[in-house]
Chain A
Amino acid sequence: MPENDHAVPRRTLPEDGDFPPNPHAGFVEFGLATCFSFLRGASDAVDLAQEAWALGYDALGCADLNSLAGVVRLHVEAKKAALLPLIGCRVQLLSGEEFLAYPEDREAYGRLSRMLSKGKMQDAEGGWQAKGACDLTLDDLAGLGAGVHLIFLPPPSLAGLEKALPRLARRLPGLGYLAASHLYRGTDRARINRLDRLAGQAGLRLLATNDVLYHTAARRPLQDVMTCIREKVTIAEAGPLIAPNAERHLKSPAEMARLFAEWPHALRATRELADRLHFSLDELRYEYPREVVPGGRSPQEYLEELTWAGAEDRYPGGPPAEVKATLRKELAMIEKLDIARYFLTIHDIIRYARDLASPPILCQGRGSAANSAVCYVLGITAVDPAQHQLLFERFISEERKEPPDIDVDFEHERREEVIQHIYGKYGRERAGLCATVIHYRPRSAIREVGKVMGLSEDVTGALAKTVWGSWGTSVDGGHAKEAGLDLSDPVLRKTLILARELIGMPRHLGQHVGGFILTERPLTETVPVGNGAMPERSFIEWDKDDIDALGILKVDILALGMLTCIRKCFDLISAHYGTTLTLATTPREDPRVYEMLCRGDSIGVFQVESRAQINMLPRLRPRTFYDLVIEVAIVRPGPIQGDMVHPYLRRRSGEEAVDYPSPAPPHDPAELKSILGRTLGVPIFQEQAMKIAIDAARFSPAEANELRKAMATFRSRGTIGKLEEKMVGRMVARGYDPDFARRCFDQIKGFGEYGFPESHAASFAHLVYVSSWLKKHYPAAFCAALLNSQPMGFYAPAQLVRDAREHGVEVRPPDVNYSEWDSTLEPASSSGGFALRLGLRQITGFRAEAAQRLIAAREAPYRDVKDLQERGGLSAAEIRRLAEADAVRSLFIDRRQALWEAKALRDAPDLPLFRETRDEGEEIPVPLPVMPVCEQVVADYQTIRLSLKAHPMAFLRKSLGKQGYITAETLKSARPWQRVKMAGLVLVRQRPGTAKGVCFITLEDETGVANLVVWPKVMESYRKTVMQSRLLVIHGVVQRDVEIIHIIAEHLEDRTDALMRLAPDGARQAGAPAPSHPRNVKLIPPSRDFH
């Protein structure tokens, strides 16, 4: 899930905060930088708004450096604190002059936004602008017109300003003010007097500002640290780079009046300017693109037309009566909420993917509104809500005046086509990707602050380690003590305090994975658009929370590897078996598919292929589609953390009676039955938890909305504690079991990060079912499609191929005379079915263009390596890659001989003069030693990441067997609590955050895989062995539960040396022990191959 932008919660003022409006103040601060002036401003909008309200302001400006990235946040928070937000920007020109720019109305705002977009998309010479830069010139500024009020910020030295200022005033129609600050620099009075004189000469007015960088003086240390990070110095050597005092904080209007007592007109100017600005971000009301509705019809009419037409297609012979009723109900609600155009926009994108793109791109919608009957008949989803009792009202609420949420997944290899289509259709002017704000995480914050404070790499490393995992959000002293650090040391203490302040501060803007916004008028007039790091990508300055806050609609265009795989599999099936399938026409509710899943046989299948899911399948024993929906949703940190899994399993297997927690009389005892009926009385989905809050804890819609937001960012300190008290307290008061109430709330907290709403789970479950069906009925095609869609999924090609072979698929190695670029099917030798031929894409470092040349010239089989070079048009280096991968067996030479011959080839031009003789004379045949099989296997793993010849463990089996080591195969028949010892290659090590330090290891030998459990205590004593082994030996006890077998580790041994003896010396290069994704684990350490 692309939910990483949620990892650092957005702080926000409470909805129902108590902020009575302040009376008109005599001063308005315009020179205010938020933390979106990256590494300059040290306070975020929440603190600034709260502080401003407390100081007695009634309006607050916001001017970040060449950016409007922070204005939405300030707008939202200021409104909550009963302040009038004034939206502007601090403009720094290439020539160095700085101005504050405040637009008067919507048109002026559009011009300002367009100017910033231009500076961010083109550099001064008109070329492609680098990411993050913004080049603006005086001409750009002059083009803003009179509607944008400019305030000139004088440089530290006033020399030359007498001449420059009148010139600027003539040039810039909007320039009316000259800023003056009283910052306790020793010469303030003289300076302001001089500025006053200069302003008078140039016809400008003096305007007071405190040039604010932080909300209170206490934030000065953080600002100093930010300056040091920006300038890459330590605090001790920063000297003149940082400010001498802490005066650039937000000062009260009274304080400003005292400082500017001699120049009261400078204060009056701020008030007058504020009163002239009447632009609000609320004016950026969303205008849907008009293209999606053909002329002459209202969107609602058109949507209804499409809906009924789609219903005829979906239900041949007409939709059933209850479907008709549902559709009518949903259409009425869509009309009421006026969101027809939203559905039409998505329908339009889907229609492109399905009908206009060639070949069609597989796609599926998900999200709160996706499981409506309307979406089903429009073809946005393939889950029939009528069959699965997924009701629209559950996903869309009238109280939330926000657009509904539909994400659309596309094939991951072809999402770019969809994106380019959107750009093409609406134009770069009107379509843009959202930004993702990259925040300081605890680790990065500690590292950066530690570096500035002059701490050594060791100490910052130890401090950073006190935060477990990348999702740790807080830093606390207890952990530091654990790491052996003395927190009474003032430097360390300050480092921790500052790091805590830095966490959550924005660091830079990234590009959202697929959130698009589409507008009717040019997008650049709504929000500045900047270039991404990738060429041909541009994104807007606001992230999806900002978009939501303004009520602007966005469409998520996401990539899903499994859709690519399914489409490729459909293609293979229709090419070889003549059956045409689609997501919607895959036969439903096939009992053989569920049987396969009940066995936990799900490698390669969408979502349920992870080890935790494989273990869950035999316990849950899915029999219907809805069981899959639950399966997908239940193995998530949310339900696990809320301890919902075991009660559900017990109830499902009949060990425990299904009962519904009920309130004390006089309340309706069955009020939870309607919510929890489908899940046997255990809340599993996000919406259920919400419903419980509304029905059982009597949350008002507004409170529920707050809870929903807090769920997304459950660590917004303070808020969540208040909500917990409220919810648990009210439930207990109404007679619920306190234990149940607390568990419900725990689950809500867990959902915040990794919970599934039912609608998401249903969409995913559909893909689970389709991929399982393909695996069951067409294992060879499914495996080929998986290999052709890499990288995706959880497993490496070696495991996928092994699984396919266990299901009776014949797998053949890649070969220059048989393979295509992709893996293909060819007639099997024995059964009349199909065998899987691995594609050339499997060969590391071999490129698609080379494969195309090779295949294009393959009208007759290649005879020798010379032929490959001359006819196949391959370079010597490319032939070497093929030879190393042993893909030239059909030339009747083995890997070693092929490599030897390939090395003799040269890329020299084949000129007649040199053809006859070689300068070294005739070739002498050299008898090379035969490559032993074990070396072959090692080389196979190094070049194609799998081996069809043998499993590395097979070479050790004889000696292992003698010593009494069992295989994965014999483990299946082991008694519970039997003591066993086993050896195998480490496939995956996992230490999930929900497992309280337990480490799960998957071992593989030539007969299968085995699952190990390492308890924390054992883990501590064998840490090195666990982390480093490639060949692990385990002594332990067998634990059986249904069909799930674990070995509980008692003693572990690292026998990587035995594995290394298989390989020649050169392969003994130790790799990094912690690969990023289990999929990338190579059994035998990767080697640097020659190029």
Chain B
Amino acid sequence: MTQAGKLPLPSAPTTPARHPSGARPQWRAGSELPDRGEAPPPQLTRRITAIHLPRFAMERWQRALARRGDAPPEDIPQALATEGPHGPVIHATNRAAEEAGISAGARVVDMRALCPELRVDYADLAGDRAALERLVLWARRWCPWTAADLSAPAPAAGGVAGLVMDTTGSDHLMGGEAAMLRAMEEQLSTLGISASPATAPTHGAAWALARYAPPRGLCPPEALAQVVAPLPVAALRLAPQTVLLLQRLGLGRIGDLTAVPRISLARRFSRAPLAENPLLRLDQMMGRLAEPVSAGEDPPRFAVQSRLAEPVQDPTAWLPELCRELCGGLAAAGFGARRLTVSVYRTDGEVSSVSAATARASRDPDHLCRLFEGRLERIDPGFGFDLITLAAPVVEDLRTIQTRLDRREDDGAELARLIDRLAARLGPGALRRPDPAPSHIPERAEAWAAAMGHPKPATGSTPAAPRPLRLLYPPEELRVLYAVPEGPPAQFVWRRLTHRVARFAGPERIAPEWWRDRPGARLRDYYRVEDQSGRRFWIFREGILGDGRGHEPAWFLHGVFG
């Protein structure tokens, strides 16, 4: 308390001169209310750049389609929609849709009435957010303090994204602020993102200039008040209802607002939350209230290296140590590697890399090391290597969880390791795993998926009826004796051997999948049969005599039990 009074006030260096020190109570020093009429001049030493990305969601969607070779025509109105309480609501639009009068926030049904040729797709909000996070990392090329701009109140209609960066002192690397802003606009446009950047001494002012002023606005500290005065109050990042209120009060511009005595605004707005408080927003804009850019941390990177005194011909001996070191780092951070790259640097400057991948996150050094077994020999050593690096470019969360009380490991890990090693040897394309598919047709009930991907979570119940271990593909045709039309098989000939049916169970009737089979497809009656020697088969009759879909039904053997 006593010290507080002696400290120079960082934001108000001139105040002591105006207030006789005796008149000012000591305890108010730290909580100086800036409402005594004359606000202390702010310290406007920082340079903040805000980038407005007005069509981020729509452009991302267009790029995704273009990548599929299905680029949407520019001249057809297109909108992205989200689910609203009364049906889908427009989220983002392209230029043609905007010209047709489609506005964000309106219901899709109403907009269709307005513009029948409007095309609508669903917006991917989570994808947009993730893409913006990636863009933040990409934009750190200009300055490290870069973040997604989330300071404005949630816009009524989405699709509007922005970045904010503290470019204090980094603009000279790009040849000055004007050149930097131009570079930002250009480089973002090569990514297919339209952007409007602006630089000002505060976050609030930069945000306003990027959206409500001519492109590439630059605001020097001394001109701040002048530059923002003609902007509408909406540029203060206020909620729409507050903007409407201020307009009803005749305070439509920021300049009008600054002309009102502080005390009058404070009485009316001091308790409002930030998004509805023009006073706080004005302070932020003018630098009276600090609003630093807090950039998130870079994602962790995992790489280790080994610098060798003498060039070596074979890096294999160093790999176990590198793996141990890398896994130590991964374990400390709680991650596991999904992809690994070994790079060897030859003395003559050549660099070669070998990569491996894992089916699930792992930080077991022995296992990771084994993935490179026999793969490093293929590198031409030349005159030897003097630097080896091991990096994990793709990592995933991997927490240490004890799954069992005995010391054995849970069953999935073993399989994953096997897959990793096989994939490392044979190439990932050579490995597939069966994947249950939702269908009653036996051959469609399982699909083959790449082994390295995540296995699908088991979907619900598997069919209760018994299935043979081995399915024949394609089923083999049989000659069968049976009682027409629907009788069970009595005897059949398979691969030139005659089997007498001793016992049977069935039929299990599986109808064609009407939504994807051709119209003439016939149903199947499956029987489990046992022949005289006790061998069990799974045979079916395709169709029934008189079902109007062809002649005599044919019989097939589809699988063998045991």
Residues of A within 8 A of B (CB): 156-157, 184-187, 189-190, 220-221, 224, 235-241, 244-247, 453, 456-458, 461, 465, 491, 494, 884, 895-896, 899-900, 903-904, 906, 918, 920-921, 923-924, 926, 928-931, 939, 1023-1024, 1027-1028, 1064-1067, 1069-1070, 1072-1074, 1087-1091
Contacts and interface: CB of A to CB of B under 8 A. Distances in A.
A900 B267 CA distance: 11
Given A221-B514, A904-B268, 13 more contacts: A238-B438, A239-B459, A244-B508, A458-B121, A884-B248, A906-B271, A918-B267, A923-B263, A923-B267, A928-B251, A929-B250, A931-B248, A1073-B114
B511 A924 contact: no
Given A186-B507, A918-B267, A926-B264, A240 B241 contact: no
Interface string B245-263: 1011111100010001101
B458 to A, nearest CB: 12
A819 to B, nearest CB: 21
Contacts of B463: 240, 244
Interface string B214-250: 0000000000000000001010000011111101111
Nearest to B246: A1066
A1089 B250 contact: no
B244 A1066 contact: yes
Contact of B528 (A186, A899, A904, A1064): A186
B250 A1090 contact: no
B333 interface: no
A245 B268 contact: no
Contact of A185 (B100, B465, B511, B516): B465
Contacts of A461: 108, 112, 120
Contact of A1087 (B244, B263, B269): B244
B522 to A, nearest CB: 12
A1024 B232 contact: no
B515 interface: yes
B142 interface: no
22 contacts: A185-B509, A187-B508, A221-B514, A239-B438, A240-B463, A896-B249, A896-B250, A899-B249, A903-B268, A921-B35, A929-B250, A939-B248, A1028-B101, A1028-B114, A1065-B234, A1065-B243, A1070-B106, A1073-B110, A1087-B244, A1090-B241, A1090-B242, A1091-B241
B264 A923 contact: yes
Bin chain B's interface residue count.
35 or more
Nearest to B36: A921
A220 B514 contact: yes
Contacts of A184: 507-509, 525
B245 A457 contact: no
A904 B249 CA distance: 13
Given A457-B122, A1072-B106, A1024 B245 contact: no
B88 interface: yes
A244 B515 contact: no
B351 interface: no
A931 B244 CA distance: 14
B460 interface: yes
Nearest to A932: B250
Contact of B464 (A156, A494, A1073): A156
Contact of A1064 (B88, B119, B252, B516): B252
B121 A456 contact: yes
B244 A1090 contact: yes
Most buried by A among B88, B263, B437: B263
A287 B241 CA distance: 60
Nearest to B508: A186
B252 A1065 contact: yes
Given A236-B515, A928-B250, A1027 B270 contact: no
A895 B466 CA distance: 80
A1087 B245 CA distance: 11
A1024 B465 contact: no
B526 interface: yes
A1072 B507 contact: no
A1072 B263 contact: no
Contact of B248 (A457, A895, A1074): A895
A1067 B461 CA distance: 56
B247 A1065 contact: yes
B347 interface: no
A869 to B, nearest CB: 15
Contacts of B260: 926
Nearest to A1027: B114
Interface in B450-470: 459-466
Given A924-B261, A1091-B241, A244 B248 contact: no
B529 to A, nearest CB: 12
B110 A1072 contact: yes
A954 B267 CA distance: 38
Given A185-B465, A220-B514, A899-B248, A920 B267 contact: yes
Contacts of B100: 1024
Contacts of A1027: 113-114
Contacts of B256: 929
Given A184-B525, A239-B438, A1024-B114, A221 B515 contact: yes
Enumerate the 9 nearest inter-chain pairs by beta-carbon distance, A residue then B residue, closest first. A239-B438, A186-B508, A184-B509, A1090-B241, A244-B440, A1066-B244, A245-B511, A929-B250, A1066-B247
B107 interface: yes
A436 to B, nearest CB: 21
A157 B465 CA distance: 12
Given A184-B525, A235-B515, A1066 B508 contact: no
B208 to A, nearest CB: 14
B510 interface: yes
A1065 B232 contact: yes
Interface in B6-23: none
Contacts of B120: 457-458, 461
A1073 B249 contact: no
A1064 B253 CA distance: 11
Contacts of B460: 239-241
Contacts of B252: 1064-1065
B515 A453 contact: yes
B30 interface: no
Contact of A189 (B35, B459, B505): B505
Contacts of A884: 248
Contacts of A240: 438, 440, 459-463
B187 interface: no
Nearest to A237: B438
A245 B438 contact: no
Given A240-B461, A895-B248, A186 B121 contact: no
B134 to A, nearest CB: 27
A1027 B249 CA distance: 33
A1089 B241 contact: yes
A920 B279 CA distance: 14
A494 B247 contact: no
B507 A457 contact: no
Interface in B95-121: 100-101, 103, 106-108, 110, 112-116, 119-121
B121 A457 contact: yes
A562 B516 CA distance: 57
B270 to A, nearest CB: 7
A904 B114 CA distance: 43
A931 B251 CA distance: 11
Most buried by A among B112, B250, B438, B462: B250
A732 B437 CA distance: 65
Nearest to B445: A239
Contacts of B81: 457
Contacts of B268: 900, 903-904
